[in-house]
């Protein structure tokens, strides 16, 4: 039986001009994950990253904490099929004023319970995107994104050797979508799961011919045991 580790990227640079860049905390979260793997003696046969900068930065910070000898014969691959959906587009189609980053900053600065208010707006934006009623408004409608993620996952399975340990550095939306695919729960629950996934958390799957099962979901023990008080983040 093989294992696939789906890793959400570390904290990105929310509220800046370039979201696709790990924050200092995001790098530390990834490093702590690598330290956790090293302490457990966890080695990998294949490493796959999405095509986004934050995916590769997370992989680098995590795997640099492992002994170099563990990675000397490890295969590295990049697969853009594991990229996140365009959260900017999803948000802006629902709230056009948020196309201006300054408007988002002003909203967060001037709103009581800003994080909760922003979460509500983003959940509404996700509902609009996933409803199927406005697909023409999006470069990548929800069904297309979902199919892309599943196809990337199937490529991993097709190329997986027997009893390999495979690690995939990707994003929360992708991981939540793959969990939905495996467990067959409704779209609404996919969106809720997406919001709950912790930066650098690990979702582990077991695979064998013709079968994939969920082992652990959203495991961030490395942050609770090795990290500082505020190491757990959600975006």
Q: What is the largest CA-CA distance in the chain?
A: 54
Residues 25, 58 share a domain: yes
- On whether the CB atoms of residues 4 and 204 are closer than 8 A, the answer is yes
Total residue length of the chain: 235
Rounded Cα distance between 168 and 153, Å, is 10
Closest by alpha carbon to 213, among 226, 204, 221, 201?
A: 204
Q: pLDDT category, 109, cuts 50, 70, 90?
A: confident
Q: Quick one: pLDDT at residue 110? A: 84
Residues 152, 68 share a domain: yes
Could you report the per-residue pLDDT of 143-198, keeping only the tens digit for each? 999 999 999 999 999 999 999 999 999 999 999 999 999 999 999 999 999 989 99
Residue 77's SS3 state is: strand
- On whether the CB atoms of residues 39 and 65 are closer than 8 A, the answer is no
pLDDT at residue 98 is higher than 90: no
| Beta-carbon count within 10 A of 184 CB | 7
As for how many domains the chain has, the answer is 2
Q: pLDDT category, 105, cuts 50, 70, 90?
A: confident
> Containing domain of residue 158, as a range?
2-84+141-226
pTM: 0.93
Q: Quick one: pLDDT at residue 16? A: 59
Residues 180, 168 share a domain: yes
Place of tokens 């580790």: 5
Rounded Cα distance between 63 and 5, Å, is 13
Could you report the per-residue pLDDT of 23-69, keeping only the tens digit for each? 999 999 999 999 999 999 999 999 999 999 999 999 999 999 999 89
Neighbouring-strand partners of residue 77: 48
Q: What percent of the chain has pLDDT over 90?
A: 75
Residues 154, 64 share a domain: yes
Asked whether the CA dihedral 168, 172, 177, 181 is positive or negative, the reply is positive
Residues 95, 50 share a domain: no
Q: pLDDT category, 234, cuts 50, 70, 90?
A: confident
Asked whether the CA dihedral 73, 79, 84, 88 is positive or negative, the reply is positive
Average pLDDT over residues 111-128: 88
Average pLDDT over residues 129-141: 97
| DSSP category for residue 95 | -
Residues 59, 95 share a domain: no
């Amino acid at each position: 039986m093989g294992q696939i580790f789906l890793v959400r990227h570390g904290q990105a640079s929310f509220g800046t001009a370039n979201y696709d860049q790990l924050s200092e905390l995001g790098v530390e979260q990834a490093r702590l994950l690598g330290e956790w793997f090293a302490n457990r003696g966890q080695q990998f046969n294949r490493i796959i990253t999405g095509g986004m900068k934050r995916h590769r930065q997370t992989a680098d910070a995590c795997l640099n904490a492992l002994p170099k000898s563990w990675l000397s014969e490890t295969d590295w691959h990049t697969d853009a099929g594991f990229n996140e959906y365009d959260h900017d587009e999803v948000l802006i189609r629902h709230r056009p004023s948020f196309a201006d980053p300054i408007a988002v900053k002003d909203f967060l600065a001037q709103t009581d319970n800003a994080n909760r208010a922003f979460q509500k707006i983003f959940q509404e934006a996700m509902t609009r995107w996933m409803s199927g009623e406005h697909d023409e408004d999006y470069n990548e409608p929800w069904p297309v994104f979902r199919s892309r993620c599943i196809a990337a996952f199937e490529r991993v399975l097709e190329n997986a050797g027997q009893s390999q340990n495979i690690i995939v550095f990707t994003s929360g939306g992708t991981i939540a979508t793959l969990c939905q695919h495996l467990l067959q729960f409704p779209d609404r629950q996919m969106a809720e799961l997406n919001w709950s996934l912790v930066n650098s958390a690990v979702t582990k799957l077991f695979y064998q011919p013709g079968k994939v099962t969920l082992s652990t979901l959203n495991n961030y023990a490395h942050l609770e045991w090795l990290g500082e008080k505020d190491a757990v983040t959600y975006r």
